[in-house]
Amino acid sequence: GRVLTNQAPLNVVETVLTVFPDCLMYNPAAFFMACRHYTTNQSVLVAMVKHSLSSRDPSDSECPFPWILSDLVTVSAAQAILEIYPQGVLEPSPMLSGKTLLDYLLRSSELQKHQQESVSSNLWTKLKLILVSAECSQQANCTACKKNGNLSPAHVLLNRVLSYPDFFDNVSVARNTIWLLNQLASTDAWIFQKPDAKGIYPLHVVLQQECTPQHHTGKVIARELVKTLLQVHPQSARCLLHQRLPIHWAVEHNWPCHDLLLAVYPEALDAQDSTSELYPFQIAAAAASVSTRTTRTSTPCKQAENLSSASALDITFELLRANPTHVRPIPAKHHTGVRAEA
């Protein structure tokens, strides 16, 4: 502690770490002191983090810096730490109730506790850094992605929350997610308005996944999620993914948002899926048929399947009602039945 308080040069700090290799183990106070006394030079902090990682047990899968969320750690210090070991944000920690740094911020209301100043707070900036780090930890060349502006933090957030089994039924988590998305939209709308390297928009990320609410509340959450994304980037309702419009993905995966998509892009009602050549109402009918068969042949999550089947039938009816001309009589020449003879 005295070495850091006196702002010892880097070579002195490195010598101390060599002589006392375990001095940083379970000692976040040392990192807090480095942040405080080396505000303009991160080299000492970087050396400390690297030393801590090098002396780590290879089998240890705990986050090495859960204390990074503390106000005692500056944003610049947090950035320096995360650049060294970005995968740490996806490792759990007992200090965070067994959650990862990313999950802790997404599942808790920590950022909402000081809602008025949260948009400009250090913790809010750290969330953005954590989202970027989570993406970097899963890419081979993150430096190139940063340089080319190909990072997609909104995609990371959405993929993460939709991976939670309880997302559609955990009101507090869903409410926090919607709040975070709205805050990001107000400060960094561009992350919702650009596709990732594969041409996928945030709206596609959501609609590609199956919507599986257990109760009516879950359907409300699903609608609110899609509504939020459409508000920040309504043009995404027109954007194709694998030659399919968002409404095709939505009705296939039982998202109760066809009316929201049609309100932005009404022409989608008459658009056939380029793969199956089906109209949206036909895709919804097929989804209803699959849900009905599944419900009859299996018992787990039966309530959710019943709700999904009913939702798909409702969507089919509403889409047909919006344009009844899609139901046309089959011309006589198309009938291939055999005429009965006496």
**Structure tokens given for 152:** 């997609």
Angstrom distances, CA of residue 123 to CA of 104, 113, 146, 183, 283:
12, 11, 21, 13, 44
Picking from 294, 286, 215, the residue whose alpha carbon sits closest to that of residue 252 is 286
pLDDT of 172 above 70: yes
**Structure tokens given for 192:** 């919702």
pLDDT in tens, 247-269: 999 999 999 999 999 999 999 99
pLDDT of 340 above 60: no
What pLDDT score was predicted for residue 328? 63
What pLDDT score was predicted for residue 115? 59
pLDDT of 39 above 80: yes
pLDDT above 90 covers a percentage of the chain that reads 63
DSSP bridge pairs for 99: 93
Angstrom distances, CA of residue 21 to CA of 24, 86, 93:
7, 23, 22
**Structure tokens given for 216:** 């009516």
What pLDDT score was predicted for residue 85? 95
- CA angle, corner 24, sides to 22 and 26, nearest 5? 100
What pLDDT score was predicted for residue 119? 52
248/245 Cα distance (integer angstroms): 5
pLDDT of 81 above 90: yes
Q: In which band, very low, low, confident or very high, does the pLDDT at 165 lie, cut at 50, 70 and 90?
A: very high
**Structure tokens given for 124:** 């809010």
Contact 149, 142 (CB under 8 A): no
**Which residues does 7 contact at the CB level (< 8 Å), separation at least 6?**
37, 38
- Averaged pLDDT score across all residues of the chain: 85
pLDDT of 136 above 50: yes
Among 30-44, 208-222, 306-320, which is the least confidently predicted range? 306-320
Torsion of CA 278, 279, 281, 286, to 10 degrees: 10
162, with CB counted inside 10 A (0-12, 13-18, 19+), is middle
Instruction: Tell me the residue type at 132.
Output: V
pLDDT of 127 above 70: yes
